Structure 1
Amino acid sequence: MADQSLKGDLEVKYTVDRAGTELLLYRDSVAPGLLVRDRLRVLLSRALYTLPAPAQSGAARLRARAVDARVAARSAVHRGRSRLGRLADRGLVPVGPALRPHVAAAVGTYDAATAERELREQILTTLQVGGVEAAVVPAVGAKRPVVVVREKDRDRTCAVLAQALGRTWYVVPLDSAAARPRSVTAAELRRQCARSDGFRIFRYLADSRGAVLSGASTGCDVEIWAAPRPALLDRSGTPHAVGSLIAPRRNDWVTRLAPETWTRAKDRPGRTVDVGSHPHILEVAEEVDVVYTWVDDSDPRWRARKAQRLAGRGGTEVDPEAVDAARFRSHDELRYSLRSLEMYAPWVNRVHLVTDGQVPAWLRTDHPRLRVVDHREIFPDPAVLPVFISHAIESMLHHIPGLSDRYLYLNDDVFFGRPVYRSRFFHGNGIAKFFLSSSVLGLGPRTDSDSPFVAAAKNNRRFVQEQFGRTLTNVFQHAPHPQLRTVLEHMEREHPEVFAQVAASPFRHPDDLSIASALHHYYAYELGRAVPGRLEYLYLDLAHPGAPVRLERLLARKDFDVFCINDTAVSAAQVRRNARYLDRFLERYFPLPSSFERG
């Protein structure tokens, strides 16, 4: 089975000195420019360390103010653009670079699948009106459908699209969504065709205030398919039929279109090439649910239950990290995570929200694709409740009534950052993927100095060693966790004492295992039910001095499939500062209310 797996899965990690200078901690690979920049930062860091401690603290404060100023300047540009009236009257808003902005269409609702389909339909309609025949080769997995036009119609295609769409549309080369967008003109489209036998055409979409929702990543690929050369034979050794077309790039369905296939496509819905009625063997055709765990730490009843449970432990010691307020602090992430799901993963079948009798005031509990699940519904022994840790709660998620066999388990600080597909998380044959971090546990057994997270990971390792005679070193990315309900049910049947022990832990305990977020992946791997996968992923700690700039960069580039924004225990001043940046970032990245929110 072909998979991207770990090959080419490169990671770069940073550390920060006392003055807030960001330095490379280690790298698998890095661009030369970044390496030069890091060397300069190392020299700066060494120079700062020669200064007295008060001077170092002053440098850190100056750096923080500079970050604030950069973010404020970008926000001012964003606010100023939102007041431009001439474009707004035409349903347009400026986005992108401050000096040479792009133009986006303002929309009130958005999901990537619908936007991509509507854009493709508009391209097809434009070509039809302009007298250009076209067909669509459907997608498989994460690949996109392709609009096919014949080489003899190339110049007419470029002229028709340029005349009908105009300069509010943009084009980039095929397979290069990160390239600089160019305005759609006939000359530019012809230039793209000469370079790569096609182009990706798109329109920026944004909310009315100029918050970008999509760009080239949801564009429409147009390919120019040529007639075969006279000497070219098909696999049977005979010349291609007159009127056949040859694909310029590989796709999963067909590299040669026979003339009768082309003709039939004109009369099919969406002018789609007939590939048969069966889904592709690599396609993930089964339903995929999503499970969130959520807590409202401001709820006085929840706080009372937590205090009562702590008091009831008597002299039993609890790790400070296990009850740290940062573990329960909310920035309303769930609202924005659901927005990200609806925007970039609209294929999700149903959302299950697991809570301790809590429901966000803004949530539509009557939504047909949402089910709020109380802890009492999934814990077989209600006497162990209440519990206040993810280890206990996640160990029981596979008990959710009506849960699909394939599902994603998410914390509410995880967000989809751009369009993703089922095949990013599962294979077509039912095998799940998991996403290893480059972080390793280190050697040796669990120690008293280990954090609850590391202790649970080492307990997982001991379990795998005892059960399978193998060892493990990696932990997992804080990303969506693909889960197989049947694997977890099998695990619980084979090891009921492990599940009972973890479920009965009200707070993090040194003997815990992280069943859903880690052990499931290794267990499924040993059963042949899971394999390593790959995500373009970002983890950002709000306590990082450069976090505000990183947020702005992420907002501008939208270059990660998934990102996690974590909140660690920091000072009250930092909490207020980080909350201000995070609230502004989330509202700009995910500006449109989802259907899960009350009107």
Structure 2
Amino acid sequence: MSDKIDFIIPWVDGNDPEWIKEKNKYDNKASNDSREVRYRDWDNLQYWFRGVEEFAPWVNKIHFITWGHVPEWLNVDHPKLNIVKHTDYIPEKYLPTFSSHVIELNFHRIDELAEHFVYFNDDTFIIDNVSEEDFFKNNLPRDIAVIKPIINTFRESTGAIASNNMEIINTKYNKNTAIKNNLSKWFSPSYKKHLISTVLMMPFHQFAGFLNPHLPNSYLKKTFKELWNEEDEVLDKTCQNKFRDGRDVNQWLFRYKQLVEGQFLPRSADIGRTYNLINDNSEVESSIMEKKYKIICINDNDKEVIEDIGKVKSEINNAFQKILPNKSSFEK
């Protein structure tokens, strides 16, 4: 059993006219953050809260990060809910921001944030029972340490960001020493088929990259504080950008630091699965209704043009409704 564990979830209402007005003051359309897909609303955030209440009732507090708006249905007076505006924790010199990287890199500044916290995106849902030890064990984050080369399969991906992170990791840490110091963590049988990738990458002197499951990440707050002390210039430069930039670093850098320093315990990759939304999402629907995984990520990107957004939205949300039909106490 670990100490108390908090959840963090950032959210933006891409339809808020005031938010759009402020965004347009700074938006030169050069960033991939300008794409509609970055802010498209699938009207299913309530299922995130229902999943937490149903399957992770042990959570200490939920820090709901927002530009300033909140969903109309959200019970803002819930004792476990902390509404956090950007202005509440992000240094003024970085505001306003429309970059998820700036929002992420400053998590440690949130008032009353627990030392142990899990970062969720709003497209990542708990759909079956999870325990505290799925995220932390012996007060260490649970994670998957797998070496995997950075390969981009579509444009405007996060590959460039991951490469920037790796530059810092490879200049700060020796790969062979890092692995030798924690052999059992790097070659855990819980990684199953993913172990092959690490084995094949062992002859190389540097880390080629890491497996980045699009799932919630467990963090120690001290990791954020330490890295800001060590790499203030790099993090500050990213935070100066109003929108995501190919020269940024992101929250994975903190995760990588935990991995190479051995500040984690192995966890199976089978805890969750990421799906990219396409026109036929029958596999996603069955995974939700049959609870094939504890956690599911439904990623909205440009891999396939969705012809009927309303139809896809209805199908996905109907699947959620079948396993989580009742309002949570986080809803009015």
Report the TM range for the smaller structure's normalisation. Answer: 0.7 to 0.9
Q: Match of 2:277, as an amino acid? A: L
Q: Match of 2:8, as an amino acid? A: V
The structure with the largest alpha-carbon Rg is: 1
Partner of 2:133: 423
Measure, in 2, the Cα distance between the counterparts of 1:532 and 1:318. 39
Measure, in 2, the Cα distance between the counterparts of 1:579 and 1:504. 35
1:526/1:573 Cα in 2 relative to 1: closer, same or farther (>3 Å)? closer
- The answer to whether the aligner puts 1:525 opposite 2:262 as a matched pair is no
Cα deviation for residue 342 of structure 1 reads 0.6
* 2:147/2:209 contact within 8 Å kept: no
Partner of 2:44: 333
3-state DSSP class of the match of 1:476?
A: coil
Alignment partner for residue 319 of structure 2, among 585, 590, 595? Answer: 585
Q: Match of 1:553, as an amino acid? A: S
Cα deviation for residue 326 of structure 1 reads 0.9
- The answer to whether the aligner puts 1:510 opposite 2:227 as a matched pair is no
Higher relative contact order, structure no. (Cα contacts within 8 Å, ≥ 6 residues apart): 2
- The answer to whether the aligner puts 1:297 opposite 2:7 as a matched pair is no
Partner of 2:294: 561
Measure, in 1, the Cα distance between the counterparts of 2:258 and 2:125. 25
Partner of 1:397: 107
Q: Match of 1:441, as an amino acid? A: I
Measure, in 2, the Cα distance between the counterparts of 1:422 and 1:433. 10
Q: Match of 1:538, as an amino acid? A: R
Deviations 1:238-285 (A, max 9, x none): xxxxxxxxxxxxxxxxxxxxxxxxxxxxxxxxxxxxxxxxxxxxx32x
1:533/1:300 Cα in 2 relative to 1: closer, same or farther (>3 Å)? same
Partner of 2:223: 487
* 2:5/2:118 contact within 8 Å kept: yes
Deviations 1:486-535 (A, max 9, x none): 111111111111221122221111111112xx111210123331244224
1:437/1:419 Cα in 2 relative to 1: closer, same or farther (>3 Å)? farther
* 1:413/1:564 contact within 8 Å kept: yes
Deviations 1:422-449 (A, max 9, x none): 1111111x2212246796404xxx9xx9
Q: Which moved more, 1:342-351 or 1:497-506?
A: 497-506
The size of the alignment, in residue pairs, is 298
Q: Match of 2:26, as an amino acid? A: R
Measure, in 2, the Cα distance between the counterparts of 1:296 and 1:435. 32
Aligned identity (percent) is 27
1:386/1:437 Cα in 2 relative to 1: closer, same or farther (>3 Å)? farther
Deviations 1:396-451 (A, max 9, x none): 111100000001000111111210101111111x2212246796404xxx9xx963
Q: Match of 1:481, as an amino acid? A: N
Measure, in 2, the Cα distance between the counterparts of 1:489 and 1:580. 42
3-state DSSP class of the match of 1:538?
A: strand
1:459/1:553 Cα in 2 relative to 1: closer, same or farther (>3 Å)? same
* 1:542/1:565 contact within 8 Å kept: yes
* 2:289/2:320 contact within 8 Å kept: no
Mark the runs of 5 or more structure 2 residues left unpaired by the alignment: 176-206
Alignment partner for residue 462 of structure 1, among 167, 170, 181? Answer: 167
Q: Match of 1:350, as an amino acid? A: K
Cα deviation for residue 366 of structure 1 reads 0.9
Mark the runs of 5 or more structure 1 residues left unpaired by the alignment: 1-282, 312-316
Q: Match of 1:588, as an amino acid? A: K
Cα deviation for residue 581 of structure 1 reads 1.2
The 5 Å alignment of 1:41-440 reads 283-284=1-2, 286-311=3-28, 318-319=30-31, 321-380=32-91, 382-428=92-138, 430-435=139-144, 440=149
Measure, in 1, the Cα distance between the counterparts of 2:285 and 2:41. 21
Measure, in 1, the Cα distance between the counterparts of 2:145 and 2:299. 18
Q: Match of 2:21, as an amino acid? A: A
Cα deviation for residue 566 of structure 1 reads 1.4
Measure, in 2, the Cα distance between the counterparts of 1:450 and 1:458. 15
Partner of 2:276: 541
Measure, in 1, the Cα distance between the counterparts of 2:121 and 2:218. 13
Q: Match of 2:48, as an amino acid? A: S
